[in-house]
Structure 1
Amino acid sequence: MSDETYLDLSDLTLAYGKTVAVESLNLSIRKGELIALLGPSGCGKTTTMRAITGLLRPASGKITLDGADITYVPANKRHVGLVFQSYALFPHLTVFENVAFGLRLKKLPTVEINQRVEAGLAMVGLGKFHSRKPAELSGGQQQRVALARSLVMEPKVLLLDEPLSNLDARLRLEMRTELQRVQRESGVTMVFVTHDQNEALALADRIVVMKEGAIEQVGSPEDVYNRPRSRFVADFVGFENIFAVKDGKIVTDNGAVDLAGASAVNAPGLAWRPHMVTLGEGRFQGEVLGAAFAGGSREYLLKSPLGPIKAEMDASAPAFEPGSTVAFDLPPERAAVLERM
């Protein structure tokens, strides 16, 4: 993977009429990277992808790919591939003809088309499926055909819109591995849009978390998962106990509360995942409102003076019954330190 910027979005503002969807976005992507645009519906991730493909004209800003300004280059001349959420396969064409479709539009020689299609289908593991129609394929196989169709066009960047959302859980796991393998073998730069944090964590080299048309955090999966910088990102990646910090105290609905060790935290917020909460001992007391067995663990919801607390313990530990009172603590050394609330 190159360290130099390959795809660059500079001060990019995107709008639908007078409604601004993305404002002054800056993002640099290296050649060969697999990038995830992650966020809830309406955060601007798909809009950003549409601008990269050329399907949406920027209101302002610049898009550079491989050293060339493509901001206003037509979509069909950008060397950017797109795999749709719906796959968009032609139902009346065979697998071979679906993959060959774009190549035929370019009027390439028949020999070259055959070679590229054969190589593309082999790369996605469908070398023996040339003559099948899309209706004869599973969802995962259809996704592979759509992927091959884009790869044979030899794009500089391949964009994928919620690529695994139409697959069941087992196929999603298989296709995650398949996408990583294809990306590694082809070396193509990939950008995929998703609202599924597990998908982004499993696939991406870097994750771009978006909120309301802006980038909230960019980092490796480990950084985003373990070291969220804002309340929004912490909540999005599963930190369910989030508190503001002021003058060394955590701020709750019932006022500020001293927390041993919090005085050393020079940040506006702290966040704990449920498993980071100490349960069964500690300075606080909570009433168990609910308990749920979750396989290897038990999940608890506590009513406490700090507000609702979500905790988790190993399933092998003694269970706490609903209605019982249990001691708990929020160890600051386990918490994620938030830069923004």
Structure 2
Amino acid sequence: MSDRFLALDKLSLAYGNTVAVRDLDLEIRKGELLALLGPSGCGKTTTMRSIAGLMTPVGGRIHLDGTDITRMPANKRAVGLVFQSYALFPHLSVFENVAFGLKLKGMRGTELETRVTNGLKSVGLSSFANRKTPELSGGQQQRVALARSMVMEPKVLLLDEPLSNLDARLRLEMRTELQRVQKESGVTMIFVTHDQVEALALADRIVVMKNGAIEQIGTPEAIYNHPVSAFVADFVGFENIFAVRHGRLVTAAGGVMLSGALPDVAGLAWRPRSVSLGSGPLSGTVRGVSFAGGTREYVLETPLGTIKAEVDAALPAHGLGQTVAFDLPVAGAASLRRFG
């Protein structure tokens, strides 16, 4: 399986004099489900728009399946795009919406009907063919938009924040649906999101972006467990993050030694559940506590700064204003190569 089915080589993108993406290198495998993850303004949507042909690069090249598509018109690229708003036609039926792009290509008759029917079947909407799109739920509209792109048989399918308009229950359902459709069809799929839970749940690989550049690329497990920088650690839920200098944590109280030797790294990060609460050489005052089902979450005011901890809800609770001992076990921390 080639790693260069879709390749962005030194890609640079700009809005006027403002550079949004600079010298980006990225290789995407055929059949891969890839997430572009990052906060607003990091360049992920801009990168997606350039792949779709909706934005012309100011530098670099885009290759798809061995062909340079950098200057190719959007309608010639074999790239499908599902917009965040779905962009469905409210006056057309579900069948007519899915058939729209095929008709523009001149497809008619039995071939058209077969392609659309199979497309609706693939997303579980065969019985909705004659309905108007305003009669559908958000999840069903998302499936129509997905089918409309899939029937065009794209080499790459792009999805812009595909689940952001859905409630929590529908998001969970559509994650499963997107994975199923992608694996059954084998289409290379790239989706843009700012939701780390969504990216971790769906993607084969995640590209974390910051300020128009790639901060880290890896599997969901690698990104989640081994962030390379403070930025990535913060983005995937490490809420206790400290720089390391001369073998000490850099904190509000100055350099702090921990029990156990610190590794030679730029920083260390602990998830709340990795904080040892109730015993240890450090102490803090409980300023916030919340019950979260199986766990209880604490916010501690400490000489190190704010510390967030999470413990089993079955343990005795600590009250607001109570002083509690804690520890930051070095073995439970993620080691960061970069801190800036």
Return the alpha-carbon distance in structure 1 between the equivalents of residues 261 and 45 of structure 2. Answer: 39
Kindly indicate whether the alpha-carbon contact (under 8 Å) linking 1:34 and 1:190 is maintained by their aligned counterparts in 2. Answer: yes
- Residue 260, structure 1, aligned to residue 245, structure 2: no
Contact 2:82 2:145 in 1 (8 A): yes
Which amino acid in the other structure matches residue 160 of structure 2?
Answer: D
State the alpha-carbon separation in 1 of the partners of residues 31 and 192 from structure 2. Answer: 17
Post-superposition CA distance 1:20-69 (Å, at most 9, x none) = 00001111000000000001111100000000000000000000000000
Per the alignment, residue 124 of structure 1 pairs with 123
Report matched runs for 1:5-84 at 5 Å.
Answer: 5-84=4-83
The DSSP-based 3-state class of the residue aligned with 2:158 is strand
Aligned to 1:291, the other structure's residue is in SS state: strand
The DSSP-based 3-state class of the residue aligned with 1:13 is: strand
What secondary structure does 2:166 align onto? coil
What's the TM-score, normalizing by structure 2?
0.99
| Superposition map of 1:273-284 within 5 A | 273-284=271-282
**Distance apart, 1:3 and its partner CA:** 4.0
Q: Which residue of 2 aligns with 1:338?
A: 336
Match of 2:316? 318
Other-structure match for 1:223: 222
Count of equivalent residues = 339
Aligned-pair CA distance for 1:307: 1.1
Q: Among residues 289, 292, 306, which one is paired with 1:291 in the alignment? A: 289
Secondary structure of the residue that 1:270 maps to in structure 2?
A: strand
C-alpha distance in structure 1 between counterparts of 2:99 and 2:253, whole Å? 65
Q: What's the RMSD between the two structures over aligned residues?
A: 0.8
> Secondary structure at 1:262's aligned position in 2?
coil
Question: 2:3 touches 2:27 (CA, 8 Å); kept in 1?
Answer: no
8 Å contact 1:248–1:259 — kept in the other structure? no
Cα distance in 1 for partners of 2:111, 2:165 equals: 32
Residues of 1 paired with 2:287 and 2:103: CA distance?
Answer: 63
Counterpart mapping for 1:143-158 below 5 A: 143-158=142-157
**Matches of 1:4 and 1:165, distance apart in 2:** 29
Q: Give 1:95's aligned residue.
A: 94
TM-score in terms of structure 1 length: 0.98
Tell me, yes or no, if structure 1 residue 247 matches structure 2 residue 267: no
What residue ranges of structure 1 are gaps of 5+ in the alignment?
none
> What is the deviation of 1:4?
3.3
Q: Determine helix, strand or coil for the equivalent of 1:299.
A: strand
Following superposition, the deviation at residue 266 of structure 1 comes to 1.2
Alignment partners' CA distance in 2, 1:141 and 1:308? 43
Cα pair 1:162 1:194 within 8 Å, conserved: yes
- Matched to 1:78, the amino acid is R
Distance 1:73 1:110 in 2: 30
- Unaligned residue ranges in structure 2 (runs of 5+): none
- Residue aligned with 2:127, SS: coil
